[in-house]
Amino acid sequence: MNRTRLGFLFSFGFTLLLSGCQGTETSSALPYEGEVKINGKPISGATVVFHSKTTGDQMVSPSGTTDGTGKFRLTSNKEFDGAPAGEYAVTITWFKPVTAGNKVREGDGVVRNFLPAYLANPQTSGLVASVQKDLSQAKSFDLRFQR
């Protein structure tokens, strides 16, 4: 009987421990939003990805997609939860459908990145962001670059 009770307590404690770990992962993200513009004009449908500069935290790459006004909100573990505090290299891609003459039929999924390729690589984009725990600071990030 003691063995059964001990097994139950161990199992219950392990379940609590696991649920506590999951809660910590989600709660470590801080809300983060920004916008993407080309020459001062917002773009819609661009994908923004934050790549951690900390070698120990390569598992999470928060990302977001711009809306009609060029604004995005980052998602790490659940929708729009933000990003963990830290320093990030930022990449941006803007894939849109293209037609290659008459050879493309309606419904064929041909897309092209309409931004320079260097912006899709965290080592070459030159774009950086910092997510801080200080909630009093502005969380908006305006990315501007020449096409």
CA distance linking residue 52 with residue 58, whole number of Å: 6
Average pLDDT, 10 consecutive residues per value, the chain (147 residues): 42 39 57 88 93 74 95 93 90 86 61 91 91 62 54
pLDDT at 27: 54
User: Could you tell me if residue 114 is inside a domain?
Assistant: yes
User: Could you tell me if residue 22 is inside a domain?
Assistant: no
Give pLDDT tens digits for 76-96.
999 999 989 888 999 999 999
| Total domains present in the chain | 1
pLDDT at 91: 94
86 is in which domain, residue-wise?
A: 30-143
User: Could you tell me if residue 5 is inside a domain?
Assistant: no
Question: Which of 77, 92, 102, 78 shows the shortest CA–CA distance to 128?
Answer: 92
User: Could you tell me if residue 3 is inside a domain?
Assistant: no
| CATH number assigned to the domain comprising residue 98 | 2.60.40
User: Could you tell me if residue 71 is inside a domain?
Assistant: yes
User: Could you tell me if residue 136 is inside a domain?
Assistant: yes
User: Could you tell me if residue 20 is inside a domain?
Assistant: no
Torsion of CA 115, 120, 121, 124, to 10 degrees: 20
User: Could you tell me if residue 43 is inside a domain?
Assistant: yes
